[in-house]
Every structure is written in structure tokens, then in C-alpha cells.
Structure 1
Amino acid sequence: MSSEDAQTPVVTLLGDAGTYGASGPVAYRRTHISHIFLVGERAYKLKRAVAFAFVDFTALAERRAACAAELTRNRRTAPELYLGVCPILRDSTGVLRLGELMPDGPAEPAAGTVVDWVVVMRRFDEDQLLATVANRGDLDAATVDALAEGVARFHAEAEPVAGGGTAMLAGVVSENDADLRAQPGVFAPTAVDALTRDTRIALARVAGRLDWRAASGLVRRCHGDLHLGNVVLLNGEPRPFDAIEFSDRLACIDVGYDLAFLLMDLDRRGLRPWANRLLTRYLEARDDLGALAALPVFLSLRAAIRAKVGAAAPDADGARLRGLFEAARAYLRPPGPRLLAVGGVSGTGKTTLARRLAPDVGAVPGAVVVRSDVERKKLFGVGETEPLPESAYQGRANARTYDRMLERARAVLATGHSAVIEATFLRREDRRRASKLAEDLGVPFAGLWLTGDPEVLCQRVAARSGDASDATPEVVRGQLQSAPQGPTAWREVDASGDADATEAAARAGLVASSDF
């Protein structure tokens, strides 16, 4: 009898509503490594006694250790969900029963022989999984921002670990190669050859950066499986759960590689604008621009992993899997970096336009948006929506803000990624410095100058709330006095209409620009 066959009585016990004193049915889910039983307000997860290349749960001791680790790993991000563990006990007559909840993890029971362990979770509404929310088209800016900020906090607090770096990712490349070759009916062997070759070339280009990051503590005990299907909304707040607990090799990774799974998942769902916003917001919360250099490799590896895992499923969608595979190849061929500047007085919709254009500028998931208003608040050490005095927008303080914004854009471009810088750019010198930055780095540049009816701009600013900008209608009128009164070297865009019209005009202008 196999180890998993020996679990059959336990599976039968957990599938019986009487085990829990419940009157309703027990819903059942099965994954490649777990049996999951949903009853009432709780979920019970039993580790399957299986062995794969990445995990071996055939021994009870290993399943016990994995249950304890699952509590520890997942209480970092979703403590509300993880209630504890329960032993499965056999009494002296051979009868099985579910033991009492142990909130602090596995411990020796007072009576009975332990035959298995289950992780006990608070049951959640599966309609609140972010994968389901995204499929409904219900993702919104507040949720994406909260997710980005939460992941940034998690990465900042995660335990640094030894190892990782280039050697670990080279192992992933080899594993992907072998697993993809095992599915020749889905992935053409010649295409697998090309993907593996291109991945190794791209990995070699960033090897020094990756090893530096590992030596600098940026390889940490991460989530490891951070995609939309493993994030749930609890009281409206996104909470990652189901982190990898069974393999340090899969969970102890570069924080950028952890983030890349979310970015890839959003991108492949046709939600690149949300992926772009997530990346920009994450980098605002956690200043880790260096990860951008390796992002093409990270994204490619994540797409290849999702493709090979999906191919092993009995109901595999060949077209979807080939799409993932081709994405893995395309991520390794990013366009070169570009710099786009968006200027104009307050109320012209600079931020909205910058966010709309950024996903289509440069490498996936698009350019990092660098806002002067955000950089100013950081410079003064205040919250993004905390107002600053007028002096923060004048003289040396204003110059320091532009210095900070341009230096941040320089750092983004130096990684090979693109940037969109957004500010009023009222002074000719500041506009010149933006184009000079691109010239110095040898990257294409375009500047957009937004204009609009003064009364419309004042009305927009008066209606605005919860934003990093401190502008008021009075500020707008003052800016109009300082704004260029004639044509500038930047392409002028009439922003008097709605956001769609402004975006269309801006895109038309960029298409007409021969050097961008």
C-alpha cells in the first residue's frame, strides 16, 4: 500500500460532516499536494502523502513539519486566516477522530496516537480571490495600491537568507528546460531550445547584479507563489496566503523574483495597466529600483513555470499554455529604455495621462512613473496626502524636488527600464534638464505639454481629494502666470476635454514624433 493509499481513512473521516458535528455538506478540493475540506466557517488542509521532485510528504514527520511551517509562513501576511492545526488521532480501538485545535502549532496530544495533521483555516468567500475579482473586471486602483504597499512591507520585513542569486536561477532555467521538453506535444523542442538559450544569455547579463543583491540581503524568505489566485480580499484589504512552506529553494528568493509573479499574472490576464501601477506603487513604497535590471528574466521564468505546470494538468488549455510560453520568450526581448516627460499646470491631468501612457512605454509592464508631488513628500518626510506649506514649492525646496525626481528617473533608465516623469515643468530650465538627461544617457525622449481652459483646470483641482498634489484653484491661477505663453519644444496637447480625449491626442502626438 502506498503512503497516499494509507491516507484514505483520514480522507474519508475529513469528508464526513459528522466529523465536525456539522449538518451541512463538506465541500472538497484537491490540489497536487493537498486535500482541502470546506465546512461551515472553516477549511481543513491535509498534506497529501506524495513525493515529487520539489517536495516529499510521504513521511508523517515531514507533513507535521510542513503544517507548522505553513502557519509560520502565512501568518506573516494573513494571520486572520490561519487558526492553527488539528491532529488526526486513533484511539485504542482503532477509531479515527479529529483532535482539538492547536493554535500554536503541532504538539503532543493528551491522548490517542497521531496518524496525521491538518492545517485549520478560517474559510473565506472564494468570490473575493483576486483572480476571481480580476476575471469579473472588478480590480480597482485602491486594491492594486494596497496590494503593492502590502507586498512592499512584507518584503521589507521578510527574513534575509543566504544563497539565491544567479546560481539558484540557473537551476530554475535547467528545470524549466527539462520540464518543457517533457511536453513536446505542447512546446516545440526547437522553441524550447531557443527559450533556454536566450534565458541563459539574459541571465548572464545580469549575473553580477543578482549576486550583488543576494550579498546585500535582497534574497529573503518570500511568498514564493505570489499570483492573484493566492491573494484574497479580507474586509476589502488584499491578503496574500498559501505561501510556499515546503521548499526553501522555492521560497527563499530575490524579492524582485517574488514580485514578478504578480506582474506576470496581471500582464497575461490582459491587465498590463494594473501591473504597471502595481510596479510603480511598489517602488514608491520600497526603493528597490535595482530589481528592474533583472525583471525581464524574472518575468520570463515565471511565465515558463506557469506554462510547464499548466501543461501537466489533465485539462490543459494548449492555446493558453503556448501563449505563456511565447510570453516567456518575448519578455527576454525588451525594447530599450525611453524617457517621457509630462508637464503642464495643475489640473491638466498630468498624473492620469502619465499612468495611461506608461504601460505602453518600454519593457513590460511599462515605464515607472516618477511624480514630482510624490518625490516632494518623500523629500520632506511626510505622508503622500499630508499637505506641505507653500515654501515647499518655492526656491531651493522646489529645485531639490526636481533634482530628486530626475535622479530617480536616471536610476530607472540606468537599469534598462523606461521612465515617465510628471511635474509642472513651468521653468524652461527644468524642461531642458529633462531632455538633457535623456541625451546624456543616449535614450529617446519626448515631452508633452498639457494645456486647458483655466476655469476647467480650477474646477478639477477644487474637486480633487486624496492625492499627493497640494494644488488649489489659487495655485493654478498663479501657475498660469508663470507658464510658457507661447510654443515650447515639447508637443502641446489640449487637455480641456476628458481623459480619453487627452490620451488620444497625446498618443497621436507620440506617434508623430520621429525620435520616440
Structure 2
Amino acid sequence: MAVSTILKISPPAATHVVADQNEVIDFLLSPCTHGRTEPVQRIDTHGAIVFLAGDRVYKLKRAVQFPFMDLSTVDRRGRACEREVEVNSAYAPEIYLDAVPITRSGDGLQLRGEGAVVDWVVRMKRFDETGTLDRLADRDAIGDSLLADIVAAVLASHEKAPVRDGLEATRSLERYIRQNDRAFRESPSLFPPQEIEALTAAAKQAYRSCFDLLVERGKAGFVRRCHGDLHLRNIAVIDGRATLFDAIEFDESIATCDVLYDLAFLLMDLWDRGLHRHANRVLNRYLWEASEAHLAGLAALPLFLSIRAALRAKIAAAAAMVQAPSEAQASRADARRYFGLARRFLVEVPPRLVAIGGLSGTGKTTLALALAPFLGRAPGAVILRSDIERKRLAGIAQTQKLSSAAYSPSSSTAVYDTLSRKADIALDAGCSVVLDAVYANLPQRHVAEGIALRAGAGFTGFWLHAPLPVMERRVSSRRNDASDADVDVVRKQAGYDLGRISWHRLDATLPRKDIEDEALSCLALRCADGRSRNG
């Protein structure tokens, strides 16, 4: 979001704006209002204007009326402010303070005065704006540990969110498709009619295909009162932890959705920014920690991603109507980009299965994480890792150590059976899959190949190999990892009869980028579809 200092925007000539708020805006922009001398900063969005004054933030709802948001009266804006504080106190109680009326008296406008109420603001505690994820993304400062923290925050919000009516939420998706279509047709210069028709037709077809699945997910309790607006600007690092804020407050139906639809906003935003690795890592970490039932639910993810991108296109177009010319130009470019993304998310991509085998310490998981963003449809392949499935079967945390009994032949059979079963589900949902396991014997490797054959998916197997001292050194240096393998395990594995290995062999002693490049070359995936190696 662009930040400007005491920037006044003239009343826009847009049909969605229903009242002149310039007097209130001038009042909130005045340092005297806040008992300060330094300039007040201003941030504009399609639905609000945010004022940064010292250690406080004041959020004024715009007097606008959209099909998806009606803030046309003072009463509506007041209720929206009160509801915003109520809803977001569940996510970030340390930020949200209260809803404050702006009143008029003989001396002019006042915050919480005795006169008639002319508007309302949300009062918040100010935090470091450079800690929002969009700013961190601009600085390439979103690391793996932060991604894990973000997923933990999102998953925790989903687990505690109240369950809602699934059928109504499912039908809402079709309504969003229609609303988006109507909004796009209001801006033919941005969205050519033939492109609108193509997007709407593809979205409706995807909705029809997923309808029964979505109804069943609703019955299973996966439709909840979610955050509803989970993009990068609405997540910040505050006091060292990922914090969700600015949840939807103006429409319960928008915030009531499938939890994967809620997650899809974050995935879409990361993907749009070219942070493909980040998006894939978020999806897989969520799947590793959440219900197994979400694997089948991934069949709806292209629809979810497309609707999220289409909504951003619509909102960016709406924002352009209330912005100064320079900002409006950028918003129109955003609208076009999101619109194109919404169309691409619905393009079918044949799924494929990639199996990565090798003894402990050869770098299987590192390669799996590197390849997954390039495989299949956005946001890349589902990674099924034997170490994680073993911990899930034991009912313990990923980094908690297991006893040797958990590695008995029967336990290992159960782990490999789980990998096969989950791969079947993910492939049936249209997702590509990466299997990450030792695959130390020929029958196990044949089973992996058979999974792809059953699904009609392409298959590629990789075998990583390295000298024993290299593998010993690597397992000895592991920290906070799902693998329990140590030097003794590696030495035991070194004596295995591996049988004939027909999978593509990769030298695990090469630099990581060289290994990844060779694997991508073998897969004919050398960024051919524009996906970013750095993302």
C-alpha cells in the first residue's frame, strides 16, 4: 500500500461513492486532532482510509456502496467499525482497541465528543508497518521459519473458528462468480468481454465439478467463520510472531467459507508475487499439520484460487475509481494482472508423480522441496514424506523422536502403504505428487511406479547417491527435523541390497543447484511455464 503524508484526494467521480467525507478526512489528517506536531500519514484502500498518528492508527470506512460491501450510511459504517473490533480481537487483541465516533459540536469535529455523530473510526495500536508480509516479501525476507509460523497461525485460526452452514457457503461461490462477472463488465476497457465470458464459463464449470465435494466438506465441518481476507498485507510479524489482522467484518457470508478457500487467498497472493516456492511450502506445511481429508479437497483449489484472484481484480478496479490518477494507473494494472491469473488458475494441467529415493543423508527432502513448485498446477505438487507420515501414524509431533520399534518392518510397511494411499487421493484430485522416502528395495519402487500407472499420470523416479562419509556428516548436522536417522542408521542402510535401480541417478555430492537443474532438465521443467526459481 502506498503511504503518503497529508495527501488529500479530491472526491472521486465514481458511482460507488455515496457521500463526501473530505471534512472528516481533513480532520483526521490534522496533527492537532491527535495532539501531535508531526504529519499524519495516510493509506488508501478501496474500502477505507487509514491514518497513522504517532502510536495510534485510525481507520475510516469509506462511504461506498459495492455489491459486495455496503458502507453507504453513518450507521452502517459505525456497525462495521464495532464489528471489526469484535472480529479482529480474536486474531490480534493487542492491536484492536475500540470503535470511536467522530462528533460535531460548536467547536467543530471531535473524537468521541458530545455532539451528533458524523462518522466512525476504528482505533488501533500502531505496529511496525514494515513487518507486514507484503513489505517483507518486497525485501525477500520471508524465510522458512516465518512460513512455518504463518501456517501455524492460519491453522490455529481455522481450528478455533466456529463451524457454519456448509451448503450456503458453497452456494455463495456461485454468487461470487456472477458478481465478479457483473463487476468486470462495468470496466470493458480493463476486461474485454470475450475474456470475461471465458473466465466465467470456466469458473462455472469448475464450480459444477466441485459442488458435491464442497457439500461433503461442509458436512464434515470444514466450512467455518474464517478470517476471509488472508492476503499478505493482512499478516504481520508483531512481537516476533506471525499475527493475522484486518479480518472481514462487513459481511458474515464472505467470511463464512471452506478453510481451504480461506487459505487460498494467501496462496494466490504469494503465487501472484512470483513467490512460488513460498506458496508451495505453505500448502504442504498446512497439509502436513491438518486433516488428511484436505487432500481430496484439493480438487477445489483451482476454483478457490481463481475466485480469489478474480476478487482481487474486481477490488483493484474498484480502487482505481477512488484513487488519484497516479495510483489509479497502478490499480488498473493490478486488476489486469489478477484477471489473467484468475484465468490461468483454471487451465487444466495433467498431474504427474515424482518419486525421490536414496539412503538417509542424500538430500531427498531438499530436492523434493525444490521440485514441487514446478510440478503440475499452482501452487505445485503435494509432498508426501515418509518421515512425516511415520510421525503422524505414531500421533506425535514431527520433530519428536521415535523409538526403534517404530521402524520395524510392519511399521515401515504401514508408512509406505500410507504414502501410496495418499498419493492416490492427491492424484485423483488432480494434483501432482512428490514421494520422498528411502525406497531401498525394488518392490517398493515398483509400487511407486504403479501409483502413477493407476492414475494415468506421468512418472519420474530419482535416486540420490553419495559416499557413506557424506551421508554420515549430513545426518549428524540435522536439527529440528522430522527424520530420526542418525549415523548408525546410515551405516545399517549402507549394507542394504538395493536391487536394480532404474530411476534417474543423481550425484548428491554436487552443489544443490546443479542437482536441481539436472532434475528439472530431466523433467523438462526448466521454468518453461514462467515459474520463478527464486520464488
Instruction: State TM-score, norm by structure 1.
Output: 0.91
Amino acid at match of 2:477: A
Deviates more, 1:288-297 or 1:401-410: 401-410
Which secondary structure does the structure 2 equivalent of 1:481 belong to?
coil
Residue by residue over 1:14-42, the C-alpha shift from the partner in whole angstroms, topping out at 9 and shown as x without a partner, is 22222322232221223222232211111
Query: Partner residue of 1:155?
Result: 158
The answer to whether the 8 Å contact 2:67/2:179 transfers is no
Query: 1:422 deviation in Å?
Result: 0.5
Query: 1:215 deviation in Å?
Result: 3.1
Aligned CA RMSD, in angstroms, stands at 2.2
Residue by residue over 1:169-190, the C-alpha shift from the partner in whole angstroms, topping out at 9 and shown as x without a partner, is 1111111112222222222211
Deviates more, 1:338-347 or 1:230-239: 230-239
Mark the runs of 5 or more structure 2 residues left unpaired by the alignment.
Answer: 1-10, 12-16, 321-327, 526-535
Query: Partner residue of 1:176?
Result: 180
Select 1:133's aligned residue among 113, 132, 136: 136
Which secondary structure does the structure 1 equivalent of 2:37 belong to?
coil
The answer to whether the 8 Å contact 1:334/1:364 transfers is no
Query: Partner residue of 1:291?
Result: 297
Residue by residue over 1:39-90, the C-alpha shift from the partner in whole angstroms, topping out at 9 and shown as x without a partner, is 1111011223332222222333322221221112212222221122333344
Amino acid at match of 1:299: L
Query: Partner residue of 1:4?
Result: 19
The answer to whether the 8 Å contact 1:166/1:203 transfers is no
Go from structure 1 to structure 2 and tell me whether the alpha carbon gap of 1:507 and 1:265 turns closer, same or farther (over 3 Å shift). same
Residue by residue over 1:415-462, the C-alpha shift from the partner in whole angstroms, topping out at 9 and shown as x without a partner, is 111111101111322222222222222222221111012111111111
Which secondary structure does the structure 1 equivalent of 2:395 belong to?
coil
Select 2:59's aligned residue among 42, 45, 51: 45
Amino acid at match of 2:307: L
Which secondary structure does the structure 1 equivalent of 2:67 belong to?
coil
Select 1:338's aligned residue among 328, 345, 352: 352
Query: Partner residue of 2:88?
Result: 74
Deviates more, 1:321-330 or 1:472-481: 321-330
Query: 1:114 deviation in Å?
Result: 4.2
Query: Partner residue of 2:202?
Result: 198
Amino acid at match of 1:293: A
Select 2:503's aligned residue among 471, 490, 496: 490
Query: 1:358 deviation in Å?
Result: 0.7
Whether 2:383 is the aligned partner of 1:369: answer: yes
Amino acid at match of 1:172: Y
Go from structure 1 to structure 2 and tell me whether the alpha carbon gap of 1:127 and 1:469 turns closer, same or farther (over 3 Å shift). same
Query: Partner residue of 1:146?
Result: 149
Select 2:394's aligned residue among 380, 389, 409: 380
Query: Partner residue of 2:363?
Result: 349
Number of residue pairs the alignment of both structures matches: 499
Identity %: 42
Query: Partner residue of 2:253?
Result: 249
Residue by residue over 1:274-333, the C-alpha shift from the partner in whole angstroms, topping out at 9 and shown as x without a partner, is 111110011112122232111111111122222232234122465554333222222111
Instruction: State TM-score, norm by structure 2.
Output: 0.88
The answer to whether the 8 Å contact 2:169/2:256 transfers is no
Query: Partner residue of 1:392?
Result: 406
Amino acid at match of 1:406: S
Whether 2:37 is the aligned partner of 1:13: answer: no
- Structure 1 distance, partners of 2:164, 2:392, is 29
Query: Partner residue of 1:503?
Result: 516
Mark the runs of 5 or more structure 1 residues left unpaired by the alignment.
Answer: 100-108
Amino acid at match of 1:11: I
Deviates more, 1:330-339 or 1:16-25: 16-25
The answer to whether the 8 Å contact 1:494/1:505 transfers is no
- Structure 2 distance, partners of 1:353, 1:151, is 26
Whether 2:315 is the aligned partner of 1:300: answer: no
Listed as ranges, the matches of 1:406-485 within 5 Å are 406-482=420-496, 484=498
Go from structure 1 to structure 2 and tell me whether the alpha carbon gap of 1:481 and 1:60 turns closer, same or farther (over 3 Å shift). same
The answer to whether the 8 Å contact 2:185/2:196 transfers is yes
Go from structure 1 to structure 2 and tell me whether the alpha carbon gap of 1:257 and 1:436 turns closer, same or farther (over 3 Å shift). same
Select 1:212's aligned residue among 212, 216, 230: 216
The answer to whether the 8 Å contact 2:65/2:72 transfers is yes
- Structure 1 distance, partners of 2:30, 2:497, is 73
Deviates more, 1:421-430 or 1:79-88: 79-88
Amino acid at match of 1:80: E
Which secondary structure does the structure 1 equivalent of 2:163 belong to?
coil
Which secondary structure does the structure 1 equivalent of 2:340 belong to?
helix
